[in-house]
Amino acid sequence: MRRLSLLSVLVLGLSLVGVHTVQAAAGTYSALGDSYSSGTGSRSYYSDSGSCQRSPYAYPVLAAQQKGATLTFTACSGARIADVQNNQLGSLNASTTYVTVSAGGNDAGFSSVITQCAKPWPTTCTTEINNANNTIRNTIPGRLDALYNAIRSRASSARVIVVGYPRIFNGEECNLLARISPGEQAELNKSADLLAGVISARAAAHGFTFVDPRSAFTGHAVCDDTEWINGLSDPISESYHPNRTGQSAGYTPLVTARM
């Protein structure tokens, strides 16, 4: 009984630092990426994750639990593609079984674009959306290639799952403090589609699996009756990110099905 008790304490301690050991025999899993992978928006985070906002409700934690895999959780809120490449690949090696990665949204500057779109009339965000689209077309593909090459060079045998982003808006205005017009919402969704196409193409070019959450989140956007994505929130960092249901019912089934 004492041995079992000590084992339970050890497992609990590992969970608190973001490394979730369930069944080592099921393989090792490294979760890389930005806020959509760290779990920003779930409103509960590991105390040692700081501004990275890694959440026990994020899909990497839930997927690791379902698969019985040993998780190394390095995804970090605010991470750009270069941040993932430079700061998050330390756990990858030839024996890594699974890798998930989401990256590109911060390179496109979606957070600042949405902030501009949310400003009161007559402020518009057409220029910011066009700039983001140009970055998606011309800059992000090369950055993703460099990241994906680095992942494969370190994790030569891993199943790599590239995780995309949902469309955030449904065309309705339901928040007086962030009145993004239906037209702006449509353009932002088009940018999400553009980014999905680029990420999917680069993932396929490297032999990686692409997880596309856009269909799963349809009917669960900001202002829908059952939101899987937060609207304008307090604190502001929670805004326009998947909530706990978005992570558990949206992302987790899609990811685990491909692991």
* pLDDT tens-digit readout, 98-126: 999 999 999 999 999 999 998 887 888 99
Tens-digit pLDDT profile for residues 68-86: 999 999 999 999 999 999 9
pLDDT at res. 190: 98
**What does the pLDDT read at residue 239?**
94
pLDDT at 178: 79
Out of 30, 35, 91, 191, which one is annotated catalytic? Answer: 35
Reply yes or no on whether 35 is catalytic.
yes
- Show me where the domains of the chain are located: 96-259
Buried b (16+ CB within 10 A) or exposed e, 97-126: bbbbbbbbbbbbbbbebbbbbbeeeeeebe
CA distances from 143 to 21, 53, 93, 96, 119 (A): 32, 24, 21, 23, 31
Residues of the chain with pLDDT under 50: 1-25
Looking at the domain that runs over 96-259, which CATH code has it been given?
3.40.50.1110
Does the annotation count 153 as an active-site position? no
Diameter over CA atoms, the chain: 69
Q: What was the pLDDT predicted at 62?
A: 98
Axis-axis angle for helices 110-117, 182-205 (nearest 10): 170
Check 38, 42, 220, 241 and give the catalytic one. 241
Tokens read off for 236: 């502001």
Residue 147: the pLDDT is 98
Closest C-alpha to 85, from 135, 139, 45, 34: 34
How many angstroms separate the CA atoms of 54 and 49, rounded?
6
Q: Do 67 and 259 touch, CB atoms closer than 8 A?
A: yes
Report percent pLDDT > 90 for the chain.
82
126 token code pair: 């057409």
In this prediction, residue 24 carries a pLDDT of 44
pTM here? 0.88
